[in-house]
Amino acid sequence: MITLKSPREIEGMRQSGAIIAGMHQGLRDIIKPGISTWEIETFSRDYIESHGGRAAQIGFEGYEYATTVSVNNEVAHAFPRKQLFLKEGDIVTVDTVVDLNGYYSDSAWTYAVGEVSPEVQRLMDVAKRAMYIGIEQAQVGNRLGDVGAAINAYVEDENGFGNVRDYVGHGIQPTMHEDPSVFHYGEAGHGLRLKPGMTITIEPMVNMGTWEVETSEEDGWTVTTLDGSWSAQYEHVIAITEDGPKILTSQDPEFDAKYL
């Protein structure tokens, strides 16, 4: 069921989103060559809990960690690992969910580890821009197909990257995952019509090669690209309002305004 949120509920989600935003801002300073992905986990969990939040991924369908920390060809859902150390030129995607007094927020961000190659930087730039292109389409009266079609046209038609089909955005609040599913591909003019008070995530996963992915048989969680190419992802929670989409997990409102 899709619920329409009141201004009070949206403000609660914004406060939750501010914790995630602060966490991601802090990660910019610690992600560098030589750190382990476990250090990202401990920093993130400590930040969330010290700011009054709960790391809501812990215990979700048996998941044990506050974050997923996915490196290079890992698309999503990779475990933080004590013996996996980041190297110069890697990229790492950190995803987490915060519950603050019953209000949820969800955000993923891809970070360069030191200096990355021009090709990898382009992957990151396209993935980030794809998210904002989707957000731009999240207007009252538009349809979810408008969001997905715009993202796919930019990622695949304009830039030749793979736009992952297997994982999608979603509604959020009063739980972590709610209806509707927010596909990052689709047909403009089709799908659910967007209404004020809806809160959703937009979170395209973009691969340098094929859009196809596979899930580890060993741990049942880690998703990697089928062809071994690298992947990047950016995710915001937004509220649909009469004044346009409002980002509830913004790390920098001035930066976001340049895209919207």
Burial state string for 223-238 with b = 16 or more CB within 10 A and e = fewer than 16: bbbeeebbbbbbbbbb
**Binding site annotation covers 106?**
yes
Other CB atoms closer than 10 Å to residue 25's CB: what's the count? Answer: 13
**Binding site annotation covers 184?**
no
**Binding site annotation covers 119?**
no
- Which run of H or of E encompasses 107? strand 103-112
| Burial label, 8 (beta-carbon count in 10 A; 0-12, 13-18, 19+) | exposed
**Binding site annotation covers 51?**
no
Across 157-253, the runs of DSSP E, i.e. the strands, are 162-163, 169-171, 178-182, 199-202, 205-207, 213-215, 223-225, 231-233, 236-239, 246-247
Structural Rg of the chain based on CA atoms: 17
Is the Cβ–Cβ distance between 32 and 15 less than 8 Å? no
Is the Cβ–Cβ distance between 137 and 145 less than 8 Å? no
At 129, list the tokens: 């821009």
Residue 202, CA distances (Å) to 101, 126, 129, 245 in order: 23, 14, 12, 11
Q: Which residues pair with 109 in a beta bridge?
A: 94
Other CB atoms closer than 10 Å to residue 155's CB: what's the count? Answer: 26
**Binding site annotation covers 95?**
yes
Residue 180: asked if its preceding bond is cis (omega within 30°), the reply is yes
Distance in angstroms (rounded) separating the CA atoms of residues 37 and 75: 15
- Report the binding-site residues for substrate: 77, 177
- Report the binding-site residues: 77, 95, 106, 170, 177, 203, 235
- Report the binding-site residues for a divalent metal cation: 95, 106, 170, 203, 235
